[in-house]
């Protein structure tokens, strides 16, 4: 224990004397979190707070136009406007507004759209009840025009198209049933009730967010970026950590330590202790920024009340995983270049795959399979569950256990490699 | 020489590096007497560093038995680590730490604490002329100062056996003199010293026994007089060295 604390004191002094390294460990992650959250906040608001700006010119003002408009508003994906620069829109101003980026989508429902469907149906039904075996005339199509900013996601376009088709079909079927009722009543002695009474939804599609505790919760930019970039910062200590180990190898300090009482495991454990504190301070500083500083920048505040114990457990487990990874890179790499290049690239890959930059649900299915192989993904899922879904410590413990097992695996690999080098170098 | 007088006893030591068919150390048998200053000399790549690294427990031998201070290297390495001091050729110091902090860390690992540790640090810094620089970061030291501090680290716990790998390389005459004189004092106090160097004149003055190693084999050993006698020479050590190891360049 005496040796462990002496070594830990040495590692502490080495870290605090390296001001550039300290800045890299603390200031850069803070700057990164702030910048990334600010950049992504608009996107997250778009999902959370009807952020896609859509201007609509509803020339119909009848069943079809009203139904489409109401559904768009109800979807919560869009920020619906009926004016451009405080003026009623025209087809030209809508087109210009989308082209210049004022709106992402412009929609024009033509005047008399509902009446157009009604007339078409009336003619068709009358033709069917006339007893003539004539072919129905070709449909005179109704055009609902949509102007779309190319940057708008396909999913948003699909949502709009689906809504329009669905409501056009629903309005059309209502009109068909009304017309059928009228024709049947004309031909039968006993009047029948309006067939629209049958027009009820027999299959209801119901969707809800599955969450422990607070259901329907969606992460905001703070809830995603704070844990995501905390994990990234923790894993990025692989580079200074491995560099410190290689420096000790190159200047002979490690060899000297290995001729003294203690073991390689003791030397590594002292580093784990010190860097665990570093990681925890990173975690605390980034969390505090999310709680207190984000609102000053107009970003959503991170809410951590009552969640600190669970968050701390996951943070410690993630820190152990990051340090374990650092030990293995530092043990196996022979030069600073090897450690820096392999360390940084592998951490960036683990971050990308793990959903740090792009949330996993937005990834192609092929990559989703790999995301669960990244320890950063385990940590992120743990943080998500706590922050977004109010999960308890017991709920997120499996993530913590996986992270600790990963750390153990890395440390064991390093100890084995060290022994191998000693015997067979 | 009786077995009990041996500080280090090496029997049939062999070391192969992975992928090399030729051994780095080839069946070396050697005894180093307690209280001696033993010089291990040889050209580049002869096997000196490999041998020192094995004796310090940094490399595992392929074959052979070694006892150091009566302890088996194979089974009692932890005990050996307590009684040896190592001064590597590299400046194995933490550059951002002060002289005092470096010595406190290393001394602490050897179990020195409190007043005993402070007294030992002060004593050694004074002995090697570094007392005024005790609170200066090592990164700001001159080469000679670093070399002296490097030596002090190996002496902090007053080891029974001290390994020195090129302790005077790259230092000025004054620092070299302080180091050599200190090594003599330490040896007088009872520490066995195992020393490697390319400075043969230095070895000639300092060492009480010598061995010349080449291509992993000990080609001669004994006191300087014994070696001269064995090689029928009255010349300097350097001439005998060249006579035994040849004049061709080594990598």
CATH number at residue B57: 3.40.50.300
Residue B97: pLDDT above 90? yes
Structure tokens at A11: 């590692």
- Confidence at A170, pLDDT banded by 50, 70, 90: confident
CB interface of A with B, residues 174-213, below 8 Å: none
Residue A95 belongs to some domain of the structure: yes
A233 and A303 in a single domain? The answer is yes
Q: How confident is the model at residue B54 (pLDDT cuts 50, 70, 90)?
A: very high
In a domain, A29, yes or no: yes
* pLDDT, tens only, A211-222: 454 444 567 778
Under 8 Å between Cβ of A105 and A146: yes
pLDDT digits (tens, 9 = 90+) for B152-173: 999 999 999 999 988 888 788 8
- Give per-residue pLDDT as tens, A242-266: 888 899 988 889 999 999 998 888 9
Inside any domain, residue B167: yes
Containing structural domain, residue B168:
3-245
Q: Is the pLDDT of residue A61 over 70?
A: yes
Q: Do A251 and B105 touch (CB under 8 A)?
A: no
Q: What is the pLDDT of residue B250?
A: 61
pLDDT for res A206: 58
Structural domain span for residue A68: 50-198
Whether residue A173 sits in one domain with residue A243: no
Strand partners, B212: B41, B220
State how far the alpha carbon of A155 is from the alpha carbons of A55, A179, A217, B141, in Å: 18, 36, 20, 65
With beta carbons under 8 A apart, name residues in chain A contacting B18. Answer: 424-425
pLDDT digits (tens, 9 = 90+) for A123-147: 777 777 776 666 666 667 778 888 8
The pLDDT, as a whole number, for residue A399 is 94
Write down which residue in A198, A223, A252 finishes a domain: A198
Whether residue A79 is predicted with pLDDT greater than 90 in this model: the reply is no
For residue A135, give the DSSP letter.
Answer: P
Region A2-18 average pLDDT:
91
Q: Are residues A251 and A284 in the same domain?
A: yes
DSSP per-residue string spanning A314-359: HHHHHHHHHHHHHHHHHHH--SHHHHHHHHHHHHHHHHHHHTSSS-
- Residues with Cβ within 8 Å of A108's Cβ and at least 6 positions away in sequence, in order, are A56, A57, A59, A91, A94, A144, A145, A146
Q: Enumerate the residues of chain A whose CB falls inside 8 A of the CB of residue B101.
A: 10, 13
Number of domains making up chain A? 2
Does residue A205 lie within any of the structural domains? Answer: no
Residue at a domain's end among A140, A171, A198 = A198
More confident residue, A84 or A357: A84
CATH number of the structural domain spanning residue A74: 3.40.190
- The per-residue pLDDT for range A382-412, each reduced to its tens digit, is 998 898 888 889 999 999 999 999 999 999 9
Residue A204, in any domain of the structure:
no
Contacts of A425 in chain B (CB under 8 A): 17-18, 59
Q: Residue A307: pLDDT above 60?
A: yes
Same domain, A107 and A66: yes
A127 and A173 inside one domain = yes
CB contact A88 to B (< 8 Å): no
If one counts the domains in chain B, the total is: 1
Residue A203, in any domain of the structure: no
Residue B134 lies in a domain: yes
Domain shared by A191 and A243, yes or no: no
pLDDT of A326-378, one tens digit each?
A: 999 999 988 888 888 998 899 999 998 888 887 776 677 777 778 888 999 99
Q: Which of B60, B90, B108 sits opposite A6 (nearest CB)?
A: B108
A190 and A228, same domain (yes or no): no
Three-state secondary-structure class, residue B8? strand
Inter-chain touch A259–B108, beta carbons under 8 Å: no
Which of the residues B94, B95, B140, B162 would you substitute to probe the A interface, choosing the one with the greatest number of A C-beta atoms within 10 Å? B94
| Domain end residue (candidates: A142, A165, A198) | A198
In a domain, A206, yes or no: no
Q: Give the H/E segment covering residue A54.
A: strand A52-58
Mean pLDDT of chain B: 88
CA distance to partner chain A, nearest, from residue B47 (Å): 14
- Residue with the bigger pLDDT between A8 and B21: it is A8
Cα gap A183→B65, rounded to integer Å: 111
Chain A nearest CA to B219, separation (Å): 25
Residues A54, A41 share a domain: no
């Amino acid at each position: 224990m005496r040796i462990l604390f002496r070594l830990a004191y040495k590692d502490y002094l080495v870290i605090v004397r390296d001001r550039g390294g300290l800045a890299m460990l603390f200031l850069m992650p803070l700057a990164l979190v702030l910048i990334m959250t600010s950049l992504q906040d608009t996107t997250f608001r778009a999902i959370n707070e009807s952020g896609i700006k859509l201007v609509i010119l509803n020339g119909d003002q009848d069943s079809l136009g009203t139904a489409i408009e109401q559904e768009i508003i109800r979807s919560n994906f869009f920020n619906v406007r009926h004016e451009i620069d405080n003026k009623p829109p025209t087809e030209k101003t809508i087109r210009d507004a989308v082209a210049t980026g004022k709106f992402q989508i412009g929609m024009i429902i033509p005047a008399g759209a509902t009446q157009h469907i009604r007339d078409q149906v009336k003619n068709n039904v009358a033709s069917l009840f006339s007893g003539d075996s004539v072919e129905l005339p070709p449909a005179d199509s109704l055009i609902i025009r949509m102007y779309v900013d190319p940057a708008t996601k396909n999913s948003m376009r699909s949502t709009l198209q689906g809504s329009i088709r669905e409501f056009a079909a629903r309005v059309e079927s209502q009109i068909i049933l009304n017309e059928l009722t009228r024709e049947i009543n004309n031909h039968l002695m006993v009047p029948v009730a309006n067939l629209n009474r049958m027009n009820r939804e027999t299959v209801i599609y119901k969707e809800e967010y599955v969450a422990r505790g607070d259901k329907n919760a969606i992460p905001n930019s703070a809830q995603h970026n704070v844990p995501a970039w905390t994990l990234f910062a923790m894993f990025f200590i692989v580079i200074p950590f491995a560099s410190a180990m290689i420096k000790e190898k190159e200047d002979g300090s490690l060899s000297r330590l290995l001729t003294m009482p203690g073991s390689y495991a003791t030397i590594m454990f002292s580093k784990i202790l010190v860097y665990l504190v570093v990681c925890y301070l990173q975690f605390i500083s980034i969390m505090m920024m999310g709680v207190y500083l984000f609102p000053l920048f107009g970003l959503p505040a991170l809410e951590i009340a009552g969640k600190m114990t669970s968050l701390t457990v996951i943070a410690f487990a993630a820190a152990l995983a990051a340090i374990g990874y650092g030990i293995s890179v530092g043990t196996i790499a022979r030069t600073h270049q090897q450690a820096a290049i392999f360390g940084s690239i592998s951490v960036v890959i683990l971050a990308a795959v793990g959903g740090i930059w792009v949330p996993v649900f937005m990834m192609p299915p092929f990559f989703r399979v790999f995301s669960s192989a990244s320890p950063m993904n385990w940590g992120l899922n743990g943080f998500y569950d706590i922050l977004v879904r109010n999960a308890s410590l017991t709920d997120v413990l499996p993530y913590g256990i996986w992270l600790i097992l990963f750390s153990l695996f890395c440390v064991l690999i390093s100890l084995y490699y060290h022994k191998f080098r000693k015997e067979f170098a | 020489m009786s077995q009990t007088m041996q500080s280090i006893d090496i029997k049939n030591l062999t070391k192969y590096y992975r992928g090399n068919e030729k051994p780095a150390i080839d069946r070396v048998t050697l005894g180093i007497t307690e209280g001696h200053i033993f010089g291990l000399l040889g050209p580049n790549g002869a096997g000196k560093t490999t041998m020192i690294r094995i004796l310090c427990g940094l490399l595992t031998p392929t074959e052979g038995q070694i006892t150091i201070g009566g302890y088996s290297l194979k089974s009692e390495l932890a005990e050996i680590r307590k009684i040896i001091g190592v001064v590597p050729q590299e400046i194995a110091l933490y550059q951002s730490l002060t002289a005092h902090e470096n010595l406190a860390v290393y001394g602490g690992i050897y179990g020195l604490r409190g007043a005993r540790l402070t007294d030992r640090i002060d004593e050694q810094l004074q002995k090697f002329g570094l007392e005024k620089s005790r609170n200066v970061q090592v990164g700001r030291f001159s080469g000679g100062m670093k070399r002296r501090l490097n030596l002090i680290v190996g002496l902090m716990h007053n080891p029974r056996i001290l390994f020195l790998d090129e302790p005077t390389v790259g230092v000025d005459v004054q620092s070299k003199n302080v180091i050599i004189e200190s090594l003599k004092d330490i040896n007088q106090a009872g520490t066995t010293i195992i020393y490697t160097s390319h400075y043969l004149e230095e070895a000639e003055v300092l060492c009480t026994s010598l061995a010349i190693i080449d291509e992993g084999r000990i080609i001669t050993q004994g006191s300087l007089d014994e070696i001269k006698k064995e090689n029928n020479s009255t010349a300097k050590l350097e001439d005998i060295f060249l006579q035994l190891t040849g004049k061709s360049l080594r990598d």
